[in-house]
């Protein structure tokens, strides 16, 4: 049992404070909220992947029972409201910025993917809105859709956007081409690989939703929405979408049921719902249906990559060359340029001291839903390329997979290590992670287990991935230098109440991560307040001073850092109050665990007494010190954090059917200081489930006309509990050297390291290279082709 109640500080497995309301159905999600007099919105979505819109007739719909109004792109354009924006300018090989097409708030003269929002119907009831939507007549002129990247890039291909020639979003490079070419000339062996990183649909358990509310007396707009970063949403809505000014806009993201990146962005439905509320002078509510989520939530991954590794005679890596096509879908969103460039390319060196690396990425617009950051965002893709290539090299050279990696690891004494891919790794002990992983999985015993499986007619395989990622987004100056549009600090405000309890306002946003517990543990550790006495408030721009939200595994390292800094400010102010109350000099006041004492005496004051004195300042140094115990801190990290890990997967394949059974999944992680082991394990388990889902089950499929074939949970296979064994995870607890808590972040780790470990295991079992997901038929066909080749 977690030792809740005895120790609630950092490192304790405190049970999640938020779970009572989540598990008893008492959470308050956006769709649980209702505003007085609210109307309901329904969006008409495009049935075509590519079509011209020659006209939209909404007259019949406007006359339908219960309809308040129907709006199209023209109505929003007339009010100066525009659509989603891109948040990161990527500089191309030729020095020019990437191409971002102008995006209107609703589709105007054309549609570019199935599901693109064409019109909004607002009615008294949702059923009336849906009935009326059927009466909207859109004069579409369908055109052949460009679904595959190579078709969109082909000479003479039609253009999705007038302002994007050749459908090319950017052509970007990283690393040293000349040095890499020279390294390949010296190679004893070159391993080549062509791989596809499958496209995924996020499927957060809570669909996206929004309520727009306008207070005409205050001239204040409020958007209740499923956002991972409400302050960023407010900034973007005000600065770029014409829904400001910022001081007249409030964004509330209440309980949010999962995001995985898909709720970072400001979507058309949210923009239009908010605008409609002001236009109509009454609240407007919209909630996505699951089928709309499939079509309109930003998808993830979707890379085609050719990569080559140049290797010395003894297996030393000399150079790595990577060329990737990345699908960005129909238009850009906030991170859709950063994800396949910096968040991908900067990790191509992996855990290895490969001296020369060169990567190039072309991103392509296609008639599919926008693709953006999804759990791991670029780093699973990089890990996939590197660790497939390394595994294949080991096989081709006849060197044990673990030994080959060990020969090439960056040694623990070489940190900080300047990677050839821009970033400077801060810390890591890769041999230790691998050693421990090999012990836990019993690597030495694998061949005996394989034999035992063979005796039962099964093919057993083992797969390894040694991965590193960059997260804890991020040092603002670096992000700005690389083209990012916002700062990436975090803020925290600690307010002591007069009776000694604490309210913490954080700019991080929890949509399942457990901030209410972990941030309370930081307060408990540093201010001596039990977690039960700490209220963590997040997700409302009217209440929380500022914030950049939660993505990129940043809440622990950056949000937690801000909480720590604010706590230190409290401690220092409290020291002055204590000095006054204890009639000692400030220099003589010692602080530990929520108690101030005069050095060398038994005279003490508790933090609760200090708080009371601060708010009831009858005996207080008012001439030199303000009353109150309320401190705000901003934390902007010096570097990214670099979690790393060694993951083993073990599988058994049924050669008769091709079914892959996951037997074991071991993860040894360096995620820095572990603040709550139970929550870290939960994050890693969830990441494993998503990663194995990608490796074995999940696949977004569009047909050649751009219709989404995997448009429901009947056809898109989400992983289930019964697909998995009990996961085995351990953390090394090696602190990050450059943030105050030593935390590296663990939200994405599991999803970054596990897909390739799993695919490597399947390929090891069957002896044939295949792509993800390793579905039964794909595995069976690979075995058939191998058997035929052997004949």
Measured over the CA atoms of residue 717, residue 720, residue 726 and residue 727, the dihedral's sign is: positive
Q: Is 713 in the site for another protein (CB under 8 A)?
A: yes
Compare residues 705 and 710 and give the one whose CB is closer to another protein: 710
Q: Is 489 in the site for another protein (CB under 8 A)?
A: no
Is 363:326 a contact under the CB 8 Å cutoff?
Answer: yes
Question: Residues of 168-179 as b/e, b for ≥16 C-beta within 10 angstroms?
Answer: bbbbbebbbbee
Is 581:595 a contact under the CB 8 Å cutoff?
Answer: no
Cis omega (within 30 of 0) for bond into 603: no
Q: Is 717 in the site for another protein (CB under 8 A)?
A: yes
- Min dist CB 291 to another protein, Å, is 7
- Min dist CB 387 to another protein, Å, is 25
Specify the stretch interacting with another protein by CB under 8 A; choose among 170-178, 401-409, 567-575, 706-714. Answer: 706-714
Is 456:539 a contact under the CB 8 Å cutoff?
Answer: no
Compare residues 291 and 316 and give the one whose CB is closer to another protein: 291
Specify the stretch interacting with another protein by CB under 8 A; choose among 31-39, 75-83, 128-136, 562-570. Answer: 128-136
Compare residues 599 and 701 and give the one whose CB is closer to another protein: 701
Pairing of strands 595-598, 604-606: antiparallel
Q: Is 697 in the site for another protein (CB under 8 A)?
A: yes
- Min dist CB 710 to another protein, Å, is 8
- Min dist CB 198 to another protein, Å, is 13
Annotate each residue in 273-302 with x if it binds another protein (CB under 8 A) or - if it does not, as one string: ------------------x-----------
Chain positions 505 to 534 lying near another protein, rule: CB under 8 A, are none
- Min dist CB 717 to another protein, Å, is 4
Nearest to 465 by CA among 775, 777, 782, 763: 763
Query: What are the tokens at 9?
Result: 């500080």
Give the phi and the psi of residue 422 in degrees, each rounded to 5. 75, -45
3-state class (DSSP) for residue 388: helix
- Min dist CB 731 to another protein, Å, is 31
- CA–CA distances in Å: residue 197 to residues 306, 460, 700: 11, 24, 11
Distance CA 100, CA 88 (A): 10
Chain positions 657 to 676 lying near another protein, rule: CB under 8 A, are 657
Give the one residue of 473, 651, 780, 783 binding another protein; rule: CB under 8 A: 780
Compare residues 710 and 733 and give the one whose CB is closer to another protein: 710
Nearest to 30 by CA among 178, 190, 228, 202: 228
Q: Which DSSP string do the residues of 467-521 spell out, in sequence order?
A: EE--BS---HHHHHHTTBSS---EEEEEEE-TTS-EEEEESS--SSS-HHHHHHH
What angle separates helix 749-766 from helix 776-790, to the nearest 10 degrees? 30
Q: Is 716 in the site for another protein (CB under 8 A)?
A: yes
Chain positions 429 to 468 lying near another protein, rule: CB under 8 A, are none
Task: List strands edge to edge, sheet with 459-468.
Answer: 459-468, 644-653, 660-670, 728-731
Q: Is 130 in the site for another protein (CB under 8 A)?
A: yes
- Min dist CB 376 to another protein, Å, is 23
Chain positions 2 to 61 lying near another protein, rule: CB under 8 A, are none
Distance CA 212, CA 214 (A): 7
- Min dist CB 656 to another protein, Å, is 5
163 dihedral zone (left: phi>0; alpha: psi -120 to 50; beta): alpha
Give the per-residue SS3 of 718-736. Answer: CCCHHHCCCCEEEECCCCC
- Min dist CB 780 to another protein, Å, is 6
Q: Is 709 in the site for another protein (CB under 8 A)?
A: yes
Specify the stretch interacting with another protein by CB under 8 A; choose among 465-473, 486-494, 523-531, 715-723. Answer: 715-723
Compare residues 134 and 439 and give the one whose CB is closer to another protein: 134
Specify the stretch interacting with another protein by CB under 8 A; choose among 60-68, 130-138, 225-233, 418-426. Answer: 130-138
- Min dist CB 691 to another protein, Å, is 16
Compare residues 627 and 655 and give the one whose CB is closer to another protein: 655
- Min dist CB 629 to another protein, Å, is 51
Give the one residue of 701, 704, 785, 787 binding another protein; rule: CB under 8 A: 701
Compare residues 326 and 692 and give the one whose CB is closer to another protein: 692
Alpha helix segments (H runs only) across 268-352: 268-280, 290-296, 342-345
Q: Is 172 in the site for another protein (CB under 8 A)?
A: no
Compare residues 280 and 717 and give the one whose CB is closer to another protein: 717
- Min dist CB 771 to another protein, Å, is 15
Residues 6+ apart with CB under 8 A from 308: 184, 190, 191, 192, 193, 320, 321, 322, 389
Is 481:342 a contact under the CB 8 Å cutoff?
Answer: no
Specify the stretch interacting with another protein by CB under 8 A; choose among 63-71, 116-124, 126-134, 164-172. Answer: 126-134
Specify the stretch interacting with another protein by CB under 8 A; choose among 125-133, 173-181, 591-599, 616-624. Answer: 125-133
Compare residues 18 and 124 and give the one whose CB is closer to another protein: 124
- Min dist CB 390 to another protein, Å, is 29
Number of residues that bind another protein (CB under 8 A): 23
Q: Is 786 in the site for another protein (CB under 8 A)?
A: no
- Min dist CB 292 to another protein, Å, is 12
Give the one residue of 78, 444, 714, 789 binding another protein; rule: CB under 8 A: 714
Give the one residue of 715, 725, 767, 786 binding another protein; rule: CB under 8 A: 715
What count of other Cβ atoms lies within 10 Å of the Cβ of residue 245?
9
What torsion, rounded to 10 degrees, do the Cα atoms 787, 789, 790, 791 define?
A: 90
Residues 6+ apart with CB under 8 A from 178: none
Chain positions 630 to 659 lying near another protein, rule: CB under 8 A, are 656-657
Nearest to 669 by CA among 642, 641, 640, 643: 643
Compare residues 501 and 710 and give the one whose CB is closer to another protein: 710
Nearest to 105 by CA among 274, 345, 223: 274
Q: Return the biggest CA–CA distance within the chain.
A: 94
Q: Is 787 in the site for another protein (CB under 8 A)?
A: no
Annotate each residue in 720-759 with x if it binds another protein (CB under 8 A) or - if it does not, as one string: ---x------------------------------------
Compare residues 115 and 507 and give the one whose CB is closer to another protein: 115
Specify the stretch interacting with another protein by CB under 8 A; choose among 17-25, 401-409, 559-567, 716-724. Answer: 716-724
Q: Is 770 in the site for another protein (CB under 8 A)?
A: no
Burial of 216 (0-12, 13-18, 19+ CB in 10 A): exposed
What count of other Cβ atoms lies within 10 Å of the Cβ of residue 106?
25
- Min dist CB 85 to another protein, Å, is 33
Q: Which residues does residue 200 pair with via DSSP β-bridges, in sequence order?
A: 300
Strand positions, DSSP E, 330-485: 356-365, 417-418, 424-425, 459-468
Question: Residues of 430-445 as b/e, b for ≥16 C-beta within 10 angstroms?
Answer: bbebbbbbbebbebee
Q: Is 707 in the site for another protein (CB under 8 A)?
A: no
Cα–Cα–Cα angle for 384, 387, 389, nearest 5°? 100
Compare residues 103 and 201 and give the one whose CB is closer to another protein: 201
Alpha carbon 48 to its chain's center: 29
Q: Is 710 in the site for another protein (CB under 8 A)?
A: yes
Give the one residue of 33, 153, 187, 718 binding another protein; rule: CB under 8 A: 718
Task: Give residues in contact with another protein (CB under 8 A).
Answer: 127, 130-131, 134, 291, 656-657, 697, 701, 709-710, 713-718, 723, 775-777, 780-781
């Amino acid at each position: 049992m977690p030792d809740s109640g005895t120790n609630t500080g950092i490192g304790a497995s405190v049970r999640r404070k938020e779970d009572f309301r989540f598990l008893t159905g008492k959470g308050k999600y956006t769709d649980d909220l209702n505003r007085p007099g609210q109307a309901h919105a329904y969006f008409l979505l495009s049935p075509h992947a590519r079509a011209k819109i020659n006209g939209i007739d909404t007259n019949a719909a406007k006359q339908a029972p219960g309809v308040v109004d129907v709006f199209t792109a023209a109505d929003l354009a007339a009010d100066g409201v525009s659509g989603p924006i891109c948040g990161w300018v990527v500089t191309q090989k030729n020095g020019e910025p990437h191409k971002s097409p102008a995006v209107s708030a609703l589709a105007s003269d054309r549609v570019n993917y199935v599901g693109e929002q064409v019109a909004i119907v607002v009615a008294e009831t949702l059923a009336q809105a849906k009935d009326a939507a059927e009466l909207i007549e859109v004069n579409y002129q369908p055109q052949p859709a460009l679904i595959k990247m190579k078709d969109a890039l082909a000479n003479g291909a039609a253009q999705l956007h007038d302002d994007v020639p050749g459908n090319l979003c950017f052509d970007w490079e990283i690393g040293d081409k000349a040095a890499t070419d020279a390294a390949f000339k010296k190679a004893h062996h070159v391993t080549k690989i062509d791989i596809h990183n499958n496209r995924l649909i996020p499927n957060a358990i809570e669909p996206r939703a929004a309520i727009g509310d306008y207070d005409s007396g205050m001239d204040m707009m409020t958007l209740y929405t499923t956002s991972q970063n409400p302050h960023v949403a407010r900034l973007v809505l005000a600065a770029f979408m014409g829904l400001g000014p910022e001081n007249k806009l409030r964004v509330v993201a209440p309980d949010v049921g999962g995001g995985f990146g898909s709720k970072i962005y400001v979507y058309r439905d949210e923009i239009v719902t908010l605008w409609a509320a002001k236009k109509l002078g009454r609240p407007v509510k919209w909630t996505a249906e699951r089928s709309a989520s499939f079509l309109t939530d930003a998808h993830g991954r979707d890379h085609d990559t050719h990569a080559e590794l140049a290797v010395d005679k003894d297996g030393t890596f000399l150079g790595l060359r990577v060329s990737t096509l990345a699908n960005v879908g129909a238009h850009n969103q906030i991170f859709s340029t950063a994800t396949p460039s910096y968040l991908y390319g900067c990790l191509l060196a992996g855990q290895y001291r490969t001296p020369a690396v060169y990567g190039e990425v072309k991103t392509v617009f296609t008639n599919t839903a926008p693709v953006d950051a999804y759990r791991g965002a670029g780093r699973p893709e990089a890990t996939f390329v590197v660790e497939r290539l390394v595994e294949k090299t080991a096989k081709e050279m006849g060197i044990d997979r673990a030994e080959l990696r060990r020969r090439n690891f960056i040694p623990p004494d070489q940190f900080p290590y300047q990677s050839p891919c821009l970033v400077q790794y801060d810390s890591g002990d890769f041999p230790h992670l691998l050693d421990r992983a090999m012990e836990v999985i019993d690597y030495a015993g694998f061949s005996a287990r394989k034999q035992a499986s063979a005796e039962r007619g099964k093919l057993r395989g083992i797969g390894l991935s040694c991965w590193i990622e960059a997260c804890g987004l991020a040092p603002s100056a670096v992000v700005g230098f690389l083209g990012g549009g916002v700062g990436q600090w975090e803020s925290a405000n600690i307010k002591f109440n007069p009776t000694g309890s604490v309210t913490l306002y954080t700019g991080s946003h929890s949509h399942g991560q457990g901030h209410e517990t972990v941030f309370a543990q930081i307060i408990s550790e540093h201010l001596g307040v039990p977690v039960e006495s700490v209220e963590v408030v997040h997700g409302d721009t009217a209440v929380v001073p500022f914030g950049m939200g939660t993505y990129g595994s940043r809440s622990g390292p950056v949000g937690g850092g801000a909480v720590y800094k604010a706590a230190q400010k409290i401690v220092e102010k409290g020291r002055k109050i204590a000095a006054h109350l204890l009639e000692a000099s400030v220099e003589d006041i010692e602080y530990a665990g929520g108690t101030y004492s005069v050095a060398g005496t038994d005279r003490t004051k508790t933090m609760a007494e200090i708080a009371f004195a601060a708010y009831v300042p009858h005996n207080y140094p008012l001439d030199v010190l303000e009353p109150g115990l309320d401190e705000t801190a901003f934390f902007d990290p010096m570097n990214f954090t670099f979690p790393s890990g060694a993951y083993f997967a073990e599988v058994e394949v049924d050669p008769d059917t091709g079914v892959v059974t996951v037997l074991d999944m071991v993860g040894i992680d360096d995620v820095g200081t572990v603040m709550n082991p139970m929550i870290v394990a939960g994050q890693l388990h969830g990441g494993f489930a998503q990663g194995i889902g990608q490796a074995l089950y999940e696949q977004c499929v569009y047909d050649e006309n751009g219709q989404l074939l995997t448009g429901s949970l009947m056809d898109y296979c989400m992983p289930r509990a019964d697909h998995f064994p009990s996961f085995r995870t351990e953390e090394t607890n090696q602190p990050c050297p450059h943030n105050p808590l030593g935390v590296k972040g663990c939200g994405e780790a599991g999803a970054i390291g596990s897909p390739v470990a799993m695919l490597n295991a399947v390929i090891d079992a069957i002896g044939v290279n295949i792509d993800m997901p390793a579905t039964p038929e794909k595995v069976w066909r690979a075995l058939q082709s191998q058997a035929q080749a052997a004949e």
